[in-house]
Amino acid sequence: MSIAELLECPIDFEGQRLADSITHAALIVSAVLALIAGYSLQSLQLSICIFLIGLGTTLIASCTSPLAYVQPKPSELAYFIKRKRQRYKVN
């Protein structure tokens, strides 16, 4: 077993995989736009600014809220389970 296998954590949820692919696509698009704009106008400063704006936008859009990691209280969890059962009429 290599070090990479020990450090790598597989993605469990489909939503995490989707968020990861959207983040990668947004960064690639911002890099390509920055390259095209910087090359066409011969401005490294413009290229870096466009990429940093894309990076910041992607960071803000893709970061999860700290509240997403808060575990629900048992009473709240029981309430949501009861509500789901009533909604889908599951016993």
Q: What is the pLDDT of residue 86?
A: 75
CA dist 78 and 18 (Å) reads 29
What is the per-residue pLDDT for 68? 62
pTM, 2 dp? 0.59
Residue 83 pLDDT class (50, 70, 90 cuts): confident
Locate the domains of the chain by residue range. Answer: 3-88
* Complete DSSP assignment for the chain: --HHHHH------HHHHHHHHHHHHHHHHHHHHHHHHHHHHT-HHHHHHHHHHHHHHHHHHHPPPGGGGPPPPHHHHHHHHHHHHHHHT--
Token pair for 50: 């466009």
- For residue 34, is pLDDT > 90? yes
pLDDT at 87: 73
d(CA 58, CA 27): 7
pLDDT tens digits for 36-51? 999 999 999 999 999 9
The radius of gyration of the chain's CA atoms, rounded to the nearest angstrom, is 21
Amino acid letter, 36: I
Quick check: 16 pLDDT over 80? no
